[in-house]
Amino acid sequence: MSITVNNEIEKTVAVLSALANSRQVIANVEALAQQVTKALRAGNKVLLAGNGGSAADAQHIAGEFVSRFNFDRPGLAAFALTVDTSVMTAIGNDYGYEKLFARQIEAVGRPGDIFWAYSTSGRSPNILRALEVANERGLFRVGFTGNHPEGVAEMRARTDLCIEIPSTSTPKIQEGHLVCGHIVCGIVEENIFAS
Protein backbone atom coordinates (compact mmCIF):
# COMPACT_ATOMS: atom_id res chain seq x y z
CA MET A 1 0.00 0.00 0.00
CA SER A 2 1.51 3.30 -1.01
CA ILE A 3 1.47 6.34 1.24
CA THR A 4 -1.11 8.92 0.32
CA VAL A 5 -1.49 12.33 1.90
CA ASN A 6 -5.16 11.74 2.68
CA ASN A 7 -4.46 8.35 4.27
CA GLU A 8 -1.75 9.79 6.54
CA ILE A 9 -3.97 12.68 7.61
CA GLU A 10 -6.77 10.22 8.42
CA LYS A 11 -4.35 8.15 10.55
CA THR A 12 -3.33 11.28 12.45
CA VAL A 13 -6.97 12.27 12.95
CA ALA A 14 -7.70 8.79 14.32
CA VAL A 15 -4.89 9.06 16.87
CA LEU A 16 -5.94 12.58 17.90
CA SER A 17 -9.55 11.45 18.19
CA ALA A 18 -8.45 8.60 20.47
CA LEU A 19 -6.50 11.13 22.55
CA ALA A 20 -9.52 13.42 22.81
CA ASN A 21 -11.59 10.48 24.07
CA SER A 22 -9.04 9.16 26.57
CA ARG A 23 -9.90 10.26 30.09
CA GLN A 24 -6.52 8.98 31.27
CA VAL A 25 -4.51 11.01 28.76
CA ILE A 26 -6.57 14.14 29.46
CA ALA A 27 -6.16 13.71 33.23
CA ASN A 28 -2.41 13.10 32.89
CA VAL A 29 -1.85 16.11 30.62
CA GLU A 30 -3.76 18.32 33.06
CA ALA A 31 -1.81 16.86 36.00
CA LEU A 32 1.49 17.47 34.22
CA ALA A 33 0.57 21.08 33.49
CA GLN A 34 -0.20 21.65 37.18
CA GLN A 35 3.04 19.93 38.25
CA VAL A 36 5.12 22.04 35.83
CA THR A 37 3.34 25.19 37.03
CA LYS A 38 4.11 24.31 40.65
CA ALA A 39 7.77 23.54 39.90
CA LEU A 40 8.37 26.72 37.91
CA ARG A 41 6.64 28.90 40.50
CA ALA A 42 8.95 27.38 43.14
CA GLY A 43 12.05 28.30 41.14
CA ASN A 44 12.69 24.83 39.75
CA LYS A 45 13.28 23.88 36.13
CA VAL A 46 12.12 21.45 33.46
CA LEU A 47 14.72 19.14 31.89
CA LEU A 48 13.71 17.39 28.67
CA ALA A 49 15.35 14.58 26.71
CA GLY A 50 14.73 12.14 23.89
CA ASN A 51 16.48 10.51 20.93
CA GLY A 52 16.14 11.36 17.24
CA GLY A 53 12.79 12.99 16.52
CA SER A 54 12.09 12.94 20.25
CA ALA A 55 15.26 14.99 20.79
CA ALA A 56 13.74 17.55 18.45
CA ASP A 57 10.50 17.40 20.46
CA ALA A 58 12.47 18.02 23.68
CA GLN A 59 14.13 21.05 22.11
CA HIS A 60 10.83 22.31 20.67
CA ILE A 61 9.03 22.25 24.03
CA ALA A 62 12.00 23.77 25.86
CA GLY A 63 11.92 26.58 23.31
CA GLU A 64 8.22 27.19 23.90
CA PHE A 65 8.82 27.57 27.65
CA VAL A 66 11.95 29.73 27.40
CA SER A 67 10.79 32.03 24.60
CA ARG A 68 7.00 32.24 24.48
CA PHE A 69 3.98 30.22 23.50
CA ASN A 70 0.70 32.14 23.08
CA PHE A 71 1.77 35.58 24.31
CA ASP A 72 4.75 37.67 25.39
CA ARG A 73 5.89 37.06 28.96
CA PRO A 74 9.11 36.38 30.92
CA GLY A 75 11.00 33.20 30.04
CA LEU A 76 10.44 29.96 31.93
CA ALA A 77 13.30 27.68 33.02
CA ALA A 78 13.41 24.72 30.63
CA PHE A 79 16.41 22.95 29.12
CA ALA A 80 16.74 20.22 26.51
CA LEU A 81 19.55 17.82 27.44
CA THR A 82 20.10 17.14 23.74
CA VAL A 83 21.79 20.32 22.58
CA ASP A 84 25.33 20.45 23.96
CA THR A 85 27.43 18.42 21.55
CA SER A 86 30.59 18.69 23.67
CA VAL A 87 28.82 17.35 26.75
CA MET A 88 27.01 14.62 24.81
CA THR A 89 30.09 13.39 22.97
CA ALA A 90 32.20 13.47 26.14
CA ILE A 91 29.63 11.41 28.06
CA GLY A 92 29.10 9.04 25.14
CA ASN A 93 32.84 8.53 24.73
CA ASP A 94 33.77 8.32 28.42
CA TYR A 95 30.73 6.58 29.93
CA GLY A 96 28.67 5.18 27.07
CA TYR A 97 25.53 6.31 25.28
CA GLU A 98 23.31 4.74 27.94
CA LYS A 99 24.45 7.40 30.44
CA LEU A 100 24.01 10.33 28.05
CA PHE A 101 21.12 11.92 29.97
CA ALA A 102 21.67 10.33 33.39
CA ARG A 103 25.03 12.05 33.75
CA GLN A 104 23.53 15.43 32.90
CA ILE A 105 20.77 14.93 35.46
CA GLU A 106 23.44 14.08 38.04
CA ALA A 107 25.10 17.41 37.22
CA VAL A 108 22.13 19.78 37.09
CA GLY A 109 19.02 17.99 38.40
CA ARG A 110 17.74 19.16 41.78
CA PRO A 111 14.84 18.00 43.97
CA GLY A 112 11.65 19.60 42.71
CA ASP A 113 12.83 19.81 39.10
CA ILE A 114 10.89 17.98 36.40
CA PHE A 115 12.45 15.42 34.08
CA TRP A 116 10.31 15.15 30.93
CA ALA A 117 11.43 11.99 29.13
CA TYR A 118 10.48 11.07 25.57
CA SER A 119 10.69 7.49 24.27
CA THR A 120 8.22 6.43 21.58
CA SER A 121 9.06 2.76 22.23
CA GLY A 122 9.33 3.17 25.99
CA ARG A 123 12.54 1.15 25.90
CA SER A 124 15.33 3.63 25.15
CA PRO A 125 18.16 2.59 27.51
CA ASN A 126 19.49 6.13 27.99
CA ILE A 127 16.01 7.42 28.85
CA LEU A 128 15.28 4.57 31.27
CA ARG A 129 18.62 5.08 33.03
CA ALA A 130 18.02 8.83 33.24
CA LEU A 131 14.61 8.19 34.83
CA GLU A 132 16.27 6.04 37.48
CA VAL A 133 18.80 8.78 38.28
CA ALA A 134 16.04 11.41 38.30
CA ASN A 135 14.22 9.31 40.89
CA GLU A 136 17.35 9.04 43.03
CA ARG A 137 17.79 12.84 42.82
CA GLY A 138 14.20 13.68 43.78
CA LEU A 139 12.98 14.98 40.41
CA PHE A 140 9.38 14.59 39.31
CA ARG A 141 9.48 12.19 36.35
CA VAL A 142 7.11 12.27 33.39
CA GLY A 143 7.29 9.86 30.48
CA PHE A 144 5.98 10.52 26.98
CA THR A 145 5.61 7.21 25.13
CA GLY A 146 3.44 5.19 22.78
CA ASN A 147 1.32 2.09 23.03
CA HIS A 148 4.00 -0.63 22.87
CA PRO A 149 2.99 -3.01 25.72
CA GLU A 150 6.53 -3.74 26.98
CA GLY A 151 7.64 -0.14 26.60
CA VAL A 152 4.60 1.29 28.37
CA ALA A 153 5.27 -1.02 31.31
CA GLU A 154 8.91 0.11 31.45
CA MET A 155 7.96 3.80 31.39
CA ARG A 156 5.13 3.44 33.91
CA ALA A 157 7.45 1.67 36.33
CA ARG A 158 9.95 4.55 36.22
CA THR A 159 7.72 7.64 36.10
CA ASP A 160 5.42 9.57 38.38
CA LEU A 161 3.19 10.31 35.40
CA CYS A 162 3.06 8.66 31.98
CA ILE A 163 1.48 10.18 28.86
CA GLU A 164 0.74 7.29 26.50
CA ILE A 165 -0.21 8.01 22.91
CA PRO A 166 -2.61 5.31 21.62
CA SER A 167 -0.49 4.21 18.67
CA THR A 168 2.47 1.97 17.85
CA SER A 169 3.53 4.09 14.86
CA THR A 170 6.54 6.26 15.75
CA PRO A 171 5.48 9.24 13.58
CA LYS A 172 1.93 9.18 14.98
CA ILE A 173 3.23 8.87 18.55
CA GLN A 174 5.46 11.89 17.98
CA GLU A 175 2.55 13.87 16.54
CA GLY A 176 0.54 13.06 19.67
CA HIS A 177 3.48 14.05 21.88
CA LEU A 178 3.66 17.44 20.21
CA VAL A 179 -0.07 18.07 20.68
CA CYS A 180 0.11 17.13 24.38
CA GLY A 181 3.29 19.15 24.89
CA HIS A 182 1.73 22.23 23.34
CA ILE A 183 -1.32 21.88 25.55
CA VAL A 184 0.90 21.72 28.64
CA CYS A 185 2.80 24.82 27.48
CA GLY A 186 -0.43 26.74 27.00
CA ILE A 187 -1.86 25.78 30.39
CA VAL A 188 1.38 26.56 32.23
CA GLU A 189 1.79 29.92 30.52
CA GLU A 190 -1.78 30.86 31.38
CA ASN A 191 -1.47 29.60 34.98
CA ILE A 192 1.62 31.66 35.65
CA PHE A 193 1.07 34.82 33.63
CA ALA A 194 -2.57 35.33 32.63
CA SER A 195 -4.41 37.76 34.87
Question: Beta-carbon neighbour count of residue 93 at 10 Å?
Answer: 9
Residue ranges of the binding site for substrate: 51-53, 64, 93-94, 119-121, 124, 174
Residue ranges of the binding site: 51-53, 60, 64, 93-94, 119-121, 124, 174, 182
Which pairs count as long-range contacts for 42-46, CB under 8 Å and 24+ apart, including other chains?
42/112, 43/77, 44/77, 44/110, 44/112, 44/113, 44/114, 45/77, 45/78, 45/79, 45/110, 45/113, 45/114, 46/76, 46/77, 46/78, 46/79, 46/113, 46/114, 46/116
Residue ranges of the binding site for Zn(2+): 60, 64, 174, 182
